[in-house]
Amino acid sequence: MTATNLYSTTPLFNKTLKNRFVLAPLTRGRAGSERVPNQIMGDYYEQRASAGLIITEATHISKEAIGWIDSPGIYNNKQVAGWKAVVDRVHAAQSTIMLQLWHMGRASHSDFHDGDLPLSASAIKIEGDQIHTPYGKKDFEVPREMSIDDIKRTVADYKKAAENAKDAGFDGVEIHAANGYLINQFLDGESNKRTDEYGGSIDNRLRFLKEIVSAIKEVFDAANIGVRISPNGVYNSMGCDDYRELFSELTRYLESEKIGVLHVMDGLAFGFHERGEPMTLGDFRSLFSGKIIGNCGYTFESATSAVATKQADMIAFGRPYITNPDLPQRYKNDWPLTPFDDMSHWYGGGAEGYSDYPAFDNNH
């Protein structure tokens, strides 16, 4: 029996993935002010269909969810049609694609919302960094604590976004519960100081995510749903003392719901809250029998090891995929990688630095 490696096939979403490479969700800001996926976005994803699985860039579930310039949405018919064109091209290129559902919560700004404050679990602002708004770079604001009605409306928005994703032909959806965005703001005890049924205990802090999962399960089979978490992450002022208990209980819940994919930002490349020892893939493998995706700072060697030892089923690559659309072939043939350290075209613009990176030409 041959050893499992990144080039092994694996079942997912009633399909067989051609390899275990995942295109990580990478926010690139190419959808324009109407937030409608377009031709160059289709080019970008089709080129990177070398991955067995593509996870789209984070996509806003509603206008209220917005907080990034020119990022795409999935809340109106034009956006659904735009995404369908992308999905069709990825499927034609023999890959599988899931849509990442995003609400930024307090990581947004009133400049995106006609002067209305962004929403969060509690009225606590993000410390330190600034945000790029349509009117320039500004400090984060103290958000408005969500009412019960706000929460119910947002859960309904997640369900509608999932329905739209299904209409666009996506194979599945990923709930973005990582990196300090809205769901993470409910999970983390530093950003959630509520005294109602959505705050305090771990069970209460998990409630918002559980309601979203339940709503989306009315649209997609549990096996076609993923959840992304960042247990070690400090981005957007995250990190609580009971993170180990929190993310272990979250994983046990996903297992009980038979959720198909757990996407773990286990690497420390984007910072670590240092509240204890980092959580590793092994912490989750013992609790979760579905597919686990490892992510954050993986090299070909560390990714190969994680899959070979069954710590992960797949590995997501982000920055290397920006400039190397044929990344699996580059690694397999030991072809040189196009450097991916020039950030000047990462966020916003047109085709340059986005969909104009060629595959490797072995004849030259």
pLDDT at 341: 84
pLDDT at 175 over 70: yes
Of the pLDDT bands very low, low, confident and very high (cuts 50, 70, 90), residue 344 is confident
How many CA atoms, within 13 angstroms, populate the side-chain half-sphere of residue 115?
0
pLDDT at 343: 83
How far apart are alpha carbons 69 and 31 in whole angstroms?
9
Mind listing the pLDDT tens digit for each residue in 300-309? 999 999 999 9
pLDDT at 31: 97
How far apart are alpha carbons 7 and 22 in whole angstroms?
11
How far apart are alpha carbons 81 and 74 in whole angstroms?
10
**Within the chain, where are the H helices?**
39-47, 77-92, 148-167, 182-187, 202-216, 243-256, 281-285, 300-308, 319-323, 327-333
Mean of the per-residue pLDDT values of the chain = 96
pLDDT at 131: 96
> Could you tell me the two tokens for 339?
């450097």
Compute the residue count for the chain: 364
How far apart are alpha carbons 121 and 193 in whole angstroms?
8
Residue 4 inside a domain? The answer is no
Give the chain's domain count.
Answer: 1
The proportion of the chain whose per-residue pLDDT surpasses 90, expressed as a percent, equals 93
**Angle, helix 202-216 to helix 148-167, in steps of 10 degrees:** 40
Residue 364 inside a domain? The answer is no
How far apart are alpha carbons 198 and 42 in whole angstroms?
39
Mind listing the pLDDT tens digit for each residue in 105-121? 999 999 999 999 999 99
Asked if 181 is an active-site residue, the reply is yes
Of the pLDDT bands very low, low, confident and very high (cuts 50, 70, 90), residue 129 is confident
Task: Choose, from 181, 235, 243, 298, the residue flagged as catalytic.
Answer: 181
pLDDT at 164 over 70: yes
Residue 363 inside a domain? The answer is no
- Cα dist. 286→57, 228, 252, 351 in Å? 29, 17, 10, 43
Mind listing the pLDDT tens digit for each residue in 230-271? 999 999 999 999 999 999 999 999 999 999 999 999 999 888
Residue 235 inside a domain? The answer is yes
How far apart are alpha carbons 200 and 188 in whole angstroms?
10
pLDDT at 277 over 80: yes
> Residue 238 belongs to what domain range?
10-345
**Angle, helix 77-92 to helix 39-47, in steps of 10 degrees:** 30
Residue reference for tokens 């670590």: 272
- Report field, pTM of the whole predicted structure over 0.75: yes
Strand, coil or helix: 59:
strand
pLDDT at 363 over 70: no
How far apart are alpha carbons 49 and 158 in whole angstroms?
26
> Could you tell me the two tokens for 150?
């706000």
- Contact criterion met (CB below 8 Å) for 75 and 160: yes
The CATH number assigned to the domain holding 14 equals 3.20.20.70
| Residue 32 φ/ψ region, left for φ over 0, alpha for ψ in the -120 to 50 degree band, beta for the rest | left
How far apart are alpha carbons 153 and 332 in whole angstroms?
47
- Contact criterion met (CB below 8 Å) for 124 and 191: yes
pLDDT at 65 over 70: yes
Mean pLDDT of 188-200: 98
How far apart are alpha carbons 162 and 151 in whole angstroms?
17
How far apart are alpha carbons 341 and 71 in whole angstroms?
22
pLDDT at 2: 55
Residue 350 inside a domain? The answer is no
Mean pLDDT of 24-39: 97
- Helices and strands in the chain: count of H runs, count of E runs: 10, 15
How far apart are alpha carbons 48 and 326 in whole angstroms?
6
Cα angle 320, 129, 41 (rounded to 5 degrees) comes to 40
How many CA atoms, within 13 angstroms, populate the side-chain half-sphere of residue 218?
13
pLDDT at 137 over 80: yes
pLDDT at 1 over 60: no
Residue 167 inside a domain? The answer is yes
Residue 361 inside a domain? The answer is no
Mean pLDDT of 321-345: 93
Mean pLDDT of 55-79: 98
Residue 105 inside a domain? The answer is yes
